[in-house]
Each structure stands twice: as C-alpha cells, then as structure tokens.
A and B are shown apart, each in its own frame.
Chain A
Amino acid sequence: MRNSTKTLEFRLERTIPAAPGEVYDAWLDPKTPGTPWNESDKLILNPQVDGLFNWLIRGTSHYGRFTVMERPRRIQHTWVSPYTLGEESLVTVTFEKRANGTLMTLVHSDLPDDEKARSHEKGWAYFLDKLVDSLGSGTRQRT
C-alpha cells in the first residue's frame, strides 16, 4: 500500500468580468465553456451539499461530492480520478467581488504526492518546461 499522507496543492486565479453571483451560477452550468462539467460523454451533476457528480470524458471518469455551496462566495467539492490515484482530492473555488468583476480563485489540494514529487517545486518545473522548449533538439544538433 502506498503511504499517501503527503499531498500537494496549487492555486490558480482569474478575473472574470461579471458579478460573483453570475460567475458562481455559470461555473455550475455544464453548458458554460471551461467548467469542469463542460464537454462530457456522460454527466451526472447534482450541485448541492452532499450532491454527487460523475463526469465521463474520453473514457476517463471523474467523481466527486459537493461539500460547500455558499452562493455567491464559495463552492467546494471532492475530486476523484485516475490522476488522483483513486484518492479523494479537494477543489475549492472562491468568488470575490472586485471593481472590474470577480476574482475567481481555484485551489486543488490533497493531490497525492510522494517522496519524489516533493523533491522539486513548481518554479523548478516551470523552468524545466522553458528549458526544454527553448532547447528542443538544438543542443544535439550543435554537437
């Protein structure tokens, strides 16, 4: 058995040009592009506390349970998929009023981690991506 006491999380932010209530409702509407439930092969969605969802896309099933529903401020649900190694991770989305719309923050936490994953940071991964992109196969050609 794997010991999954270690987890990682990340946070993403976007400013959406609409009021928090409008953004909150749109996030729960499968018809809105970019929501987790948009473009599904099969979808069961019951967005209320203790309501469940199942989102099937390209043969991959994602499951979850809504844990917090506070319109228009906060939505939280669990998230289980092959990428979480079948373990429960947590997605928290908050909506804060700003002068130019809504500051939307998405935090995906409790993602299973292990010893190797801890050995590098996000900034390092970003650097690697840039490095690979900028070098491509160029280094090899020059040799």
Chain B
Amino acid sequence: MDRLTDVLTALSHPSRRDIIRRLAAAPARFTDVARPLDVTLNAVTKHLKLLERAGLIERERRGREVLISLRPEPLRLVSSWVHEYERFWNQRLDAFEGYFRRMRGKDAGHTRKRRTKAAQKKEANR
C-alpha cells in the first residue's frame, strides 16, 4: 500500500478523525483518547494502529505512561493531491484579476488621480 492510501484509510472513519482533532489540541494518554469515544477499548487500539501506520501519530514512553501525539505532516499528501487544479486555477485567476485591477488603477491615474487617491484613503480608513 502506498502512503497516500494509508492516510486516506486513516481519515475515512469518524472516530479516527475525532482522535486527530483531540490530538491536534495536545498530546494525550491512551485513556484520554479513548474516554470521549463511544467505542470499545479494543476498537480504539485498532484505530490508533491505523493512524500509526499512516504516520499520523507517534507514541512516546514517559515513565509509566505512553503519550500519543499527532504528526500532521502526512495530511499534506491528501490536500495537495486533491487541490492540484484548484490551486492552479486560483493562482491563475488571482493573477488575471490583479492585472485588471492594476490596469484600472493606471487608467484612473491619468484622469482623476487625486480623487482616486482620496477615495482609496477613505476606503482604507473604513
């Protein structure tokens, strides 16, 4: 299985997304992760295994406790993969719109520069 598949599998269950949200706030112990979830401890263990396989969590022994923390980096795989064209067109349209706004600014500059500047100031102060 490739990494992206592992991450998408990890995200495909609401309980695992709840765990991610929980860990996004702060690292937690197993019992802290399990408490708000309405599932068996066995199920929590399975969810954590899938999250671990996707590289989304890390376990660290602290004395007698094991702290579970989120590793968000693999999430980038998902967002960048899906947004390939959305990002592309957003950048393009921003440049296109920016071009027209600059053009309009230049046109206005020839005829009524002062008024435009005053209007811009007013706009900025709002």
Please give the residue numbers on chain A whose beta carbons come within 8 Å of chain B beta carbons, in ascending order. Answer: 10, 12, 14-18, 23, 26-27, 32-36, 38, 83, 101, 104, 106, 108, 111, 116-117, 119-120, 122, 124-126, 128-129, 131-132, 135-137, 139-140, 142-143
Contacts and interface: CB of A to CB of B under 8 A. Distances in A.
Interface string B69-107: 111110110110011111001111111111111011000
Interface of B: 4-5, 8, 11-12, 23-24, 26-27, 58, 60, 67, 69-73, 75-76, 78-79, 82-86, 89-101, 103-104
Contact of B79 (A35, A111, A125): A125
Please name the 6 residue pairs, one residue from A and one from B, whose CB atoms are nearest each other, closest first. Answer: A34-B96, A34-B95, A143-B69, A116-B8, A33-B99, A33-B95
Given A14-B97, A17-B104, A26-B100, A142 B75 contact: no
Given A18-B104, A33-B96, A135 B24 contact: yes
Contacts of A117: 82
Nearest to A111: B85
Contact of B78 (A106, A108, A125): A125
Contacts of B79: 125-126, 128-129, 132
Contacts of A10: 85-86
Given A36-B92, A38-B92, A119-B8, 19 more contacts: A10-B86, A16-B96, A16-B100, A18-B104, A27-B96, A32-B99, A34-B94, A34-B97, A104-B96, A108-B89, A117-B82, A120-B78, A122-B82, A126-B79, A136-B72, A139-B23, A140-B58, A140-B69, A143-B58
A12 B93 contact: yes
A118 B93 CA distance: 26
Contacts of B95: 33-34, 38
B26 A142 contact: yes
Contacts of B5: 116
A104 B79 CA distance: 25
Contacts of B26: 139, 142
Given A125-B79, A125-B82, A104 B71 contact: no
Contacts of A104: 93, 96
B104 A125 contact: no
Contacts of B85: 10, 83, 108, 111
